Each structure stands twice: as C-alpha cells, then as structure tokens.
Chain A
Amino acid sequence: MQVTEPIKARDRDAIVQSLRAGVVPRAGHQHIQVGRANEVAALTSDLDRIAEGGSGLRFVIGEFGSGKTFFLYLIRAIALRKRLVTVHADLTPDRRLQGTGGQARALYSELMRNMATRSSPDGGALPAVVERFVATAVSEAREAGVSAGAVILERMGSLSEMVGGYDFAQVVEAYWRGHDTGSDVLKGDAIRWLRGEFSTKTDARSALGVRTIIDDAEVYDHLKLTARLARLAGFGGLLVCLDEMVNLYKMANTRARNGNYEQVLRIVNDCLQGGVEGLGFLMGGTPDFLTDTRKGLYSYEALQSRLVENRFAVDGLVDLSGPVVRLASLTPEDMYVLLTRLRHVFAGGDPSLYLVPDEALQAFMECCSQQIGDAYFRTPRNTIKEFLDLLAVLEQNPGTDWHDLLGGVRVQVEADTDLAPLSALEEGEEPESRQTEGDDELSGFRL
C-alpha cells in the first residue's frame, strides 16, 4: 500500500462523492482498487497487445454488485494511461449491437460521445482525435508543400478497402476542409457523421457529399475504422467497453437476440483471430448472460464453443488466458483493505488525519455482518456508502465518538434490478425504481 502518497483533492472528491452516491467514480480508481491483481495483470497485458497493433477481447463476468462496472472503469483508466483511445457505453433496450430501428446506431453514437483520451478522460474526445490525425497530415503537407487534403486521403487510403472506409476518409477530409475554409458548420457536420448522428443519407449527402451514413448494420465496421483512425492519429488503438450486456440476455425476441449474438460472434472471431488492428473489446455481464443455454451467449452454439471455459479451472484454480474473466466476489479481508483505503482517501492520503482507528473498521464490519450477513462484502456498494457517510459525519462533527455512531449504521441488502421483468422495459417506459417507496417522511398528504 502506498500509504504516504498524497491524494489529489480532485481525486478524493471524485471518489468520495461518487461512492456516496452509489456510482463508480470517474477518476482515482487506483486508490481504491483492492484484490483482483491477476485479473488486472491479465487485462493490462491485453492492453499492451492492443497498443502494439494487436487485438483483444474479454468478457468480464460477475454477479450483480460484484464490481464489474468498477473493474471496467479501472481497465479503461489504465488503457488511457497506455495511450489508447477508449469508448464506452451501457447497453440498454434502445442501445444494442444489432438492430433495425436505429438501436445499433444509438449505441454507436453513445460510444463516440464517450470517446476519451488521456487528456480528455471525461469523454467528448472525438474532435481531438480527428484533429490530431489531421494535424499530422497538415505538418507533413506543410513540409512537402502540398495540399493537406491530398495527404489525408493518401494516408487514409488503406481504409478504403474496409467497409465504409471510403466515405469515412472523405468525412475526415471534409473536417479538414471545414477547418481550412473556416466553416464551423462543415466541421460540426463531419463530427456528427462520425458520431453516427446522421439518420438519413440525404442529409449526409447534402451536408458532406457522402453517400452513406453509419447505419445499424455497419456499427462494428465503423469501430474498426475508428480504431485505425486512432492509430493514424498517433494513439495505440481503441478500447471499446460495453457494459450491461445483460440487456441482450433480457431481450424477449429470439431473432433479435440472435442477431445481436451474431454481432458478438463477429467480434469474437475477429478479435481472437487477430483480424483487426489496434482494437480491443471489454464486455461486462452477469453469469446468466454468459452461460444460460436458453437465452445467454451459450444459447448461440458458435459462441458457446468459442467461449466455453477451461474445465480444469475450478475450485479456485484460474485460467486467465481465455476470453472470459470471472470476477470473484470480494472476501472479508478484501473488504477490510478496502475500508482502510477508503479511510486513507478520505483523509486525503495523510495518515495523521484518519478519522477512525483500525479497530473501528473491524467493528463496522461486524456491525454490517450482523445486519445483512455476507452480502456486506459480496455486494459492497451499500457498505461503502454507509462507511463513507459515517466518516462524513465524524468529519463534520469533530469530537464525536465513532462508538456512538456505530449503533446508527443501517445497511440494506441490495436488490438486483438487472433481472427485473422485461415486459415493462420492452415497452420502453418507466425504468426500474431503485429507491424503495417508503413514506417515512413526515407530513405526506393528499391533494
């Protein structure tokens, strides 16, 4: 543990605020990552391979609340440090890998909006990536004394052989033209096209002079093109993080579901056979999504045979070379370490500012254990939130004794809403209501 390293106020606030709100923080993951060293190492070596122009694919499988999302964020943060470009999105009923009503395009748009680089880790980095590529072409053109547009097209020539590559190159060239002629409209349209936000070919043609748009059918092809663009722009490659893959499992329509699995198969084949350059995928999902033979990935035979796990890796033995990474739940010991980390982060990395002694951590864990049993470390979200709330109270009320507060600790078992009945969701309305409708407030009244 790096106990003496100070933690930046920005990181501290990001971590504390996010965790107290029950969501994964956007930065500072390294301060609170606990355990799972092998998994992280395996994925880090994947990232190295991608950065060298290779490819990679992992399914990150874990139970509800076991920290899949956190793990994906962590890997994404590492990928950014390794100078990869990342894109990430959650799948939803309206955002899938395959669709006929714009669902795949919606997923693509979301991915592109969330494009991040080391310098813009919060997303919105697509213009930056395009401009870095264009900038290299411009400086090359400047030295050679030729037109930058021609250099761009020449350097992107290799993309023309890929599906959609010709227009992709044209649009990047149009971005340059927009810059060159001072037309912000043209630049904006080029970015919109690259983000998959044009919905009709007519619009795309009149704005940019290209015949195609990024359509539901070409989402994966365009991810490949974007990966190439990232490499041309001087980055290592592209990491695509898809979370909540369970939404595919939840689809009621078999044909639509299989259509999506077909896309997954394409990706699996390409990435595992090295058919793509500088592109990696991380897909987060629950065990049902993977192994259910009726509706999960295993229901699609071709995927089952590719993804079936090493039969010897049972009972604590692991094989981290396969495409499936199973996240083990945290242990009570992990939880203890996590609490010490949280205390450390809360104190801004200064041990002299620790708000509670070590024995309080144990007492806190016991307290949680009495209330919800093993769930306190298996699905740690609520435990973490409660612990940080406790620290917050201690911080704001100096002189309070932690013993007194411990009695007020209330943790709840988290309900798994991922597997909520889908009929309601399919109709596209009212998503899950996570908060319990407890009318414990005073003075509720009717009108």
Chain B
Amino acid sequence: MPECPNCFYIMDHFDAECPRCRGQSLSATDRAFYAAQKYVSACRMSRTPDSVIQSQLVQAGWSVGDAAALVRGRRPPVGPAASCVGDQYWVPSGSQLTVGGRRIALGLVYAGRGLRSVLGHSSEPALLDPALPVASSRAHHAEDIGYWPTYERLAPQQRALYLDWLASDRAHPQMGIGYVFLFFYGLERRALADGQASPMAAQERKAIAAEVRRLLRVYGGNHSFRSYAVSLLDAIAILEPGAADGPVTAPLGDGAPVGSHMTRFVLGKLVSNGTPLPWDWSLAWWLSSDSCRLRTPAKRCPEEFRALVRARFASRFGPGLLVKPNKTVLTIDYQAASPTFGGGLKLRIDGMPDVSRLQSPLAKIGALVEECQTALEPYSRWLGRNPDGRGTLQSLASLPGELARAVACGDAERLRVQLDRAAEQHRFWAMPARELIETWGCSDSESPSKRDCTAICELLGRLGYGVEPDVRFHGPRLTSDATVVVFRLPEGSPASPSSAYTAAAALLHLFLTVAEADGAVAEEEQRQISEHIRGNTDLSPAEMTRLAAYSRWLMHTKPGLVGLSKRAAHFSAGQRESIRRFLVSVAAVDGRISPEEITVLQRLYKMLGVDPDAVHGDVHALAATSSRDRFATVVRADPDRREYEIPAQAGAPGPASGTVELDMDAVRAILADTSEVAALLGGIFADEEPSDEAATLGEEARIAGLDARHSALVRRIRGLEAVGRDEFGSWAEELGLLPEGALDAINDAAWDACDDPLLEGDETLAVSSAVMEELLTCK
C-alpha cells in the first residue's frame, strides 16, 4: 500500500494529499514519532516480540518510557515545556519496561541510552542501558560490587541479578547493598536534580519518598545506606512547598526517621517564629551535632533515656529553650550518595537562621543530656546484669527518682499503698523487716546481703520513704527477725550521711546505751534525746527526721554496744587514743564529771580494750588544761533560740544522778573539731564485718607482679577473645576487686611487661592474645 513520503502514513490509495500531514513540513518531534510508529508496525508484521521492538527503539535513542508507549501504540507524552533531559529517560512509578528480558513493572528507574551524569563528565551511573549484555546466570547476592557502582560497569551476571531484583518486589533482604545504592542513585537524581528543573519530576517526589521509606524498612540496617536515605528524605521534605510554614511535629512523631538536615530546618523554623525549642527537637539537635556522644546507658535503655531527658528538660527549661535567631542563613549541604552529582548540592533557605551554629544553647542541652546519661548509669548497669528485669521492683531501686515514680509495677504499687496508709496515721512506725525482705525477694531471705539491703533502702527512698536502720547510713544489715522504723522522707533527703550526722548518730547511740544502763529510758531522758536532735544546728531538717527515726529504732531494738569490743580490737593505738579523749570530753561538757559518769566511762574504756583505771588520769589531764579553751567555737549560741535550755553556769550543781546532762553547744564544738573521731565512731557502730563476700583464693602463682586477686582475674579472662565490661565488672567484684581500678591495674602490668595493654575497648573489652601469652609467662 502506498505510504506518504513525508509522514509515512499508510494511505488507502495514491492521493494528491496525505490526510495526516497534508504535505506540510513536519517538526522534528513529529517526524521522529511517525518514523518510530512505522518501525513498530513493520516489526509487528514480522512477529517480532514487543520486548525486542522496545529495546531496539531504545537503541535508536528513545527513552525507555517513550519506547514502551510507542509499543503500546501511544504517542509519548512529552510536553516540551515541562521536560528536562532526565524526563525522557525516567520510567515513573507504575510504568513498565523490559530490559534484558526482564519485565520491570514498578518503574522508578532511568533507562535508555546516552543519559549523562548531572555533572556531565560520564554517563549516568543508574541508567539501565538496554544495549549492555545481560547474562543468563546471576551473580551471588552477597558479592561485593564496590563503592560507587554504575550499571555500565557491572558484569553481565551482576546485571542479571540487579534486573531480577528490580523486576521483583525489591525487598530481598540479602541483596548486596551496592545494588540497593545503585537503585537509590536514580531516586536521588530524580528527586533532587530533575526535581529542580521539571515540574513533573517535582510532583513525583512524594512517590520517591515513599519508596525510600520502604527501602529503609528493608535495608535500614546498613548504617551507610540509612544515613544517605534519611538525608534524602530530609531534603525532599524540606523542598516540599510550604515546608517552612507547616506545623512542627515531634522528631519521632509520625515514625519517619529524621536526619540532621531536617533537624536544622525545624530548629530554624522554630527559632525564627520565636517558639521555644521543645525537648524532643533540642535532643534531636544534640544528637545530630558533633558533640553527640551517646554512651551505653542511652543505647541500652533508649526509652528511659528519652523519658528522663524529657522530665529534666521540663524541670529546667519549662516550656522550652528560648533561642534568639542568628544571622547565618541556613544552607543545607546535601552530600549525595550518587557520584552523578560529583559531591553534593547546597540548598540555601533564605530567611531561615542556621541555629545549629549556636554553641551556647547546644552546650546547655549537652550538659542536660550528659547528666541524664550519668543518672541512668546505675540502672543501665543493673539492666546489663538482669536483661529481663525491666519494670520489676528491683529495677526501680536503680532508676532515677523521676522515672521510678512513673513506672507501673504491681509490687511497688502495693508497697506504696501500704506505706501511704501507714503514713496517714503515724510519722514513724515500726514494721517487721521480714515484710520488706519478702516483697523484695532476696535470694537469702534470712539475712540479705549488704547489696540487697542497700537496694531495699534505695527502693523505699524512690517511693518517698526512709527506713532505719539503713546500711547506707552505717546501720546494720536487715535480718528477717528484725524490726525497722519507717518514716516519710522529707523533700531533699540525703542519701548519704554527712559527718555531722554520723557523729550525732554515734553520740545518740552512746547516750542511749548509757541511759539504759539503769534499766528503762526515763521520760526525762527521752525529752533530752529529742532536744539533742533538734538542737543540733549542723543537721538539716531532713537529717533530724532520720535521726529521730534512728532514736526510735535504738529504743525499740536496744542494740547495746555488743560487738564494740570486738571491733575496737581493730583500732590502732592512735585511733583508740582519739576515741578515749573524745569520750572524756563528752562526759565533761557540762564542766564537771560526776562519779556516775566515771563509772560509765570505765565501762566504755573496758569495751575499747583500754585499762579502766586510766579514766582517772584522763579526767585529771582534761581538768588540768583549761578545757573550754581547747574547743574552737564553730556556732555561737543563739540566745533567742528557745528549743533547749542553756545551762545556767559552768560548775552549777549537776543533774540528778543516773542521767547525763550534755551541753550541746560544747558537744557541737567538739564535734566540729573532731570530725575524724566522728568517722571512727561511725565505724564502731556501723555494721562493719570485714567484707568476706570476696572469694577466698588458693595459692596460685602471681602474674606479672599483680597480687593474687588480680592474677586470678587475669586467669579468668585467659582464652577469651573479648569480655563484656559488665561481665568483667561482676568477675572483679566476685574477687573483691573494684572493676575500673582492676582494669587499670591489669593494663598497667601489661604495659610494664609487654609495652601494650591487655584489654581495650569501651563496652566490650578485646583481649590481646599476644599480650596474654607474654603476661602469663611473666612472674
């Protein structure tokens, strides 16, 4: 049949004029289209498969998308106004094409021949060139295709693998990350390079972002891919029209990961609106900054970490951190994954400040975050030893207070309700220690270890209650048959005794012991005790409350001075001397020493292992020196203070026999001057059996100058390649060593012996086998 020589239109018969082109001259686009159309129908006649027609069209220079349209008999939708070079090669989402015999249904790739990179120096790395050979057998998934892959440089087997992946649902979890990157290159170019020139490409950004998010779900485990992908998502979100005016969500609000670009963008947005930075974006700022140093606590317990940052941020900065806008304009320095850009792009966002350059707000946030990490360290370490322990009663003891109150834990709640009920009726009340021990669930419920006792006291502290005796305050350990005194802790209660408290408690103990010498503690004596407590200006109100609880426990339990002589045996002569002097001066505070006091002193001397007759000499020595002058006055007596009576005059008639009258001012003066003695006294009454929790050691050889315990620890590590820090810590503690110190000492010995450390690393300590070998031969 005849054909129009101008537009190749097949006419029914020879006419003077072609009905399609009417003999007019054609535009180049039209001519090309008509020629292609003719080619397609010719191929159809010879029963050539569509895929072959399509690939031949592509070889002739048509983009893959256009070729696909031509095969389907449609005119390619190329509008000259809305196109850029990339448009002609891009296969949009949902369009099909066939390359290398694979039907790729999902689109989102560049295909065709001749597309140059954005930079223009080489061909586009992500371009699927149908002319390149594809093998019938595939390369292995895991085979590394190196950095900066390009489709062009792939081996035919690798192309087969890549095309099969593209033709599949693109979610094979074992797919080599290089291929995923190759696919990602195309998405990146489309969104950022084409997206700037072509409105059509800009409209596709949403679909591209969705695809990137999908890839992240599958391949996000790869750090490198994750960071590039998140960064692309950021850039797409920032380029979104109206992004600068849109609402600010939380960085983790909709589950989309947020990178440093987005963080800087949102910070700029908040600051330029004069909105205080909320906790989550402040944290995101710090996390994306150079000063970000996340330590184990934040990594091991991310939930708790965020909760703590949130709580402390609120208490420190209220609604948020107010930052003044700065002048530097925000420029997003986008580092492209694809080599097509030859580096990256700069996205300058006029009118938006680059808050990330400000140092002082960041320093404030950093300090807060660091504080939170430190506060979580005990909990994190506990969790390391008890990985399944989240949310249990035991975990509460090491959680920071703010979090402990928020954790829902049935046992803790029951305990709290029980204590709250009791606290409504009493300020102090006694309860059997057994109840606490059983709630806690110690391994040895008869006499829990010191650690368990500490944890019980800490737990009650978290719930707002104090216990006496408390091992942290030199109290004895709890036993199941003991009675404890419980009280509501005032705000800001200490968790550790001050030396004033230690001394006051020791003195109280002595005092009660002496007072009890004649049987019961008289009312008058009880009154004196409470005055003793209230009159001590060195104590904070919270400490006074605790001391009051301690006195009730003393009166209830009457621990006496049992064991004093046993412990006193360990004191050096010098220490014994100091205590002796202290006791005498206590007895002499009222300016005179009565015969009763001498008797009591003699008893105490005996307990201390000192000759009781030495009392007379000591008393004389004290009387001979002008006793008052020896004491520096620390706190002047306040005449307006009416809480206790100031003794009328030194040398006035003494109090009724059987009681010991104390001049509290003088006692304070003594205490202030003899803090060392106070510590010793604390030691006397403390539950200080030498810690025998440490394992006893056999007589094995010492290693490289280390002592027996350290040597045992080294032997324990022998043969291991690495050891977790927590594990190392608990081994050290089993041997009665302090973990950090032991690590330093062992490495020090290794340095001495082999000029290299034995153990290195942060969370996991790598053991150098060479050093270990050398060390073991060192005696």
- Seen from chain A, the residues whose Cβ lies within 8 Å of a Cβ on chain B are 83, 94, 117-120, 125, 127-135, 138-139, 141-142, 144-150, 153-154, 157, 160, 166, 170, 173-174, 177, 179-189, 192, 197, 202, 205-211, 428-431, 433, 439, 441-447
Contact = CB atoms under 8 A, between A and B. Distances in A.
Interface in B167-206: 193, 196
A142 to B, nearest CB: 7
Given A173-B679, A182-B455, A443-B345, 4 more contacts: A125-B744, A209-B494, A430-B357, A444-B348
Contacts of A177: 472, 496
Interface of B: 118-119, 193, 196, 238-239, 244, 326, 328, 341-350, 357-360, 363, 371, 374-375, 377-378, 381-382, 398, 449-451, 453-455, 458, 471-472, 492-499, 501-502, 540, 542, 570-571, 575, 675-676, 679-680, 683, 686, 688, 690-691, 707, 709, 736-745, 747-748, 751, 757
B552 to A, nearest CB: 21
A135 B706 CA distance: 13
Contact of B570 (A146, A180, A441): A146
Contacts of A125: 744
A127 B359 contact: no
Contact of A181 (B451, B492, B575): B451
A441 to B, nearest CB: 5
Given A127-B740, A132-B745, A447-B239, A442 B498 contact: no
Contacts of B493: 206
B347 A447 contact: yes
7 contacts: A134-B738, A138-B738, A147-B686, A166-B675, A197-B371, A429-B326, A430-B358
Nearest to A150: B683
B322 to A, nearest CB: 14
A208 B502 CA distance: 12
B745 A135 contact: yes
A118 B739 CA distance: 17
A30 to B, nearest CB: 12
Contact of B690 (A141, A184, A197, A202): A141
A52 to B, nearest CB: 18
A134 B341 CA distance: 59
B398 A186 contact: no
B690 A186 contact: no
A185 B680 CA distance: 24
Given A166-B675, A444-B345, A179 B738 contact: yes
B673 to A, nearest CB: 12
Name the 9 nearest CB pairs between A and B, nearest first.
A131-B741, A182-B451, A184-B378, A119-B747, A209-B498, A128-B744, A131-B738, A181-B454, A146-B570
B358 A118 contact: no
A183 B454 contact: yes
B688 A147 contact: yes
A345 to B, nearest CB: 18
Given A182-B454, A206-B493, A443-B118, A138 B744 contact: no
A166 B146 CA distance: 62
A147 B570 contact: yes
B384 to A, nearest CB: 11
Contact of A174 (B193, B496, B690): B496
A322 B303 CA distance: 56
B360 A205 contact: no
A442 B738 contact: no
Of B193, B375, B450, B688, most buried by chain A (CB within 10 Å of CB) is B688
Given A119-B747, A444-B346, A209 B499 contact: yes
Nearest to B244: A447
Nearest to B744: A128
A119 B740 contact: no
Most A C-beta atoms less than 10 A away, residue of B196, B348, B454, B736: B454
A272 B406 CA distance: 56
A186 B341 contact: no
Given A182-B451, A192-B374, A431-B359, A118 B348 contact: no
B740 A131 contact: yes
A428 B686 CA distance: 50
Given A150-B683, A447-B350, A139 B398 contact: no
A192 B378 CA distance: 13
Nearest to A149: B683
A205 B498 contact: yes
Contact of A135 (B471, B497, B570, B737): B737
A206 B473 CA distance: 12
Contacts of B377: 184, 188
B350 A206 contact: no
A125 B741 CA distance: 9
Contacts of B744: 117, 119-120, 125, 128-129, 131-132
A107 to B, nearest CB: 13
Given A118-B747, A177-B496, A181-B451, A131 B472 contact: no
Contacts of B455: 182
A188 B376 CA distance: 10
A117 B683 CA distance: 33
Residue from A177, A189, A192, A208 having most chain B Cβ neighbours under 10 A:
A177
Nearest to B379: A184
A187 B363 CA distance: 25
Contacts of B709: 139
Nearest to B381: A184
Contact of B498 (A146, A210, A430): A210
Given A119-B743, A185-B495, A205 B540 contact: yes
B739 A131 contact: yes
Given A128-B740, A134-B738, A442-B119, A206 B542 contact: yes
Contacts of A150: 575, 679-680, 683
B374 A138 contact: no
B398 A441 contact: no
A120 to B, nearest CB: 7
B143 to A, nearest CB: 21
A428 B360 CA distance: 6
B356 to A, nearest CB: 11
Given A119-B744, A447-B347, A211 B498 contact: yes
A139 B371 CA distance: 33
B450 A180 contact: yes
Given A182-B455, A430-B358, A207 B495 contact: yes
B472 A186 contact: yes
A176 to B, nearest CB: 9
Contact of A442 (B118, B494, B680, B690): B118
Q: Which of B118, B326, B347, B502 has the most CB of A within 10 A?
A: B347
Contacts of A129: 744
A391 B34 CA distance: 57
Contacts of A147: 570, 683, 686, 688, 690
A184 B397 CA distance: 10
A185 B745 contact: no
Contacts of A144: 570
A130 B738 CA distance: 10
B472 A181 contact: yes
Given A153-B679, A441-B344, A442-B118, A430 B328 contact: yes
Which residue, A132, A147, A160, has most C-beta atoms of chain B within 10 A?
Answer: A147
Contacts of A433: 357
Most buried by A among B118, B363, B455, B741: B741
Contacts of B679: 149-150, 153, 173
Contacts of B193: 443
A177 B496 CA distance: 9
A111 to B, nearest CB: 16
A83 B749 CA distance: 11
B234 to A, nearest CB: 14
Given A142-B690, A188-B378, A207-B494, A134 B450 contact: no
B374 A206 contact: no
A439 B346 contact: yes
Contacts of B374: 188, 192, 197
A178 to B, nearest CB: 8
